[in-house]
Amino acid sequence: MASTADIKNGLCMVFNHDIYKVVEFLHVKPGKGPAFVRTKLKSLTNGKVVDQTFPSGHKLEVVRVERRKYQFLYKDGDDFHFMNNENYEQMMIEGKMIDNGDLLKDGENVEILFHAAEERPLTIDLPQYVILTVTYTEPGQKGNTATNVTKPATVETGAEVKVPIFINEGDKIKIDTKSRSYSERVK
């Protein structure tokens, strides 16, 4: 058992008969009344995000998790296939467990969070940034770069992202996997 003093980003705990991961937290000590912890929790089974406030000192049931490195092999329908980098065992994971899975390209390394006691995957953490090649985008207009105008672009994995107007087909771009946003052009 842990208390609210142990809350930090990434902590996994049992709450309302489900396993949640702490996305954000804030310890609040108002001028009047007791302290409390305001959290944003993400369900690891269905992906819902809930806001929850815990009184200071509240006891929490922490889930022991392990992070393991896997390599993405290929996608088969809605299923993603991964290989353990240490013992080369392969496993299949449903696409609904992966946020922004369409940004994964073959050979990309990811971290899979496992429930240590039950040996089952809980969630998949993509790298913070991926570098992908633009396969299709409308041509930009010359001289229209003064404003923050964006246009849709399709990348090599089939995902569609918004890019600045000066990006052309064949350019390699760096994409933030959390927000699906363009970061920079890569040479």
Domain range summary for the chain, segments of one domain joined by +: 2-62, 66-125, 129-186
Banded pLDDT at 2 (limits 50, 70, 90): confident
- Rounded to two decimals, the pTM is 0.76
User: Could you read off the pLDDT of 132-187 as tens digits, one per residue?
Assistant: 999 999 887 666 666 778 889 999 999 999 998 888 899 999 999 988 999 999 98
Mean pLDDT of 72-78: 90
Gap between the Cα atoms of 162 and 166, Å rounded? 12
Is CATH 2.30.30.30 the classification given to domain 2-62?
A: yes
Two domains, one topology: 2-62 and 129-186: no
How many residues does the structure list for the chain?
Answer: 187
Q: pLDDT tens digits, residue range 20-52?
A: 999 999 999 998 899 999 999 998 887 789 999
CATH number for the domain formed by residue range(s) 66-125: 2.40.50.140
Give the C-alpha separation, 46 to 135, whole Å. 32
Q: What is the pLDDT of residues 106-129, one digit of tens each?
A: 999 999 988 888 888 888 888 999
CATH number, span 129-186: 2.40.50.140
Please tell me the predicted confidence (pLDDT) of residue 145: 61
Phi/psi at 93 (5° precision): -130, 140
Order of strands across the sheet with 49-55?
2-3, 59-62, 12-15, 18-28, 36-43, 49-55
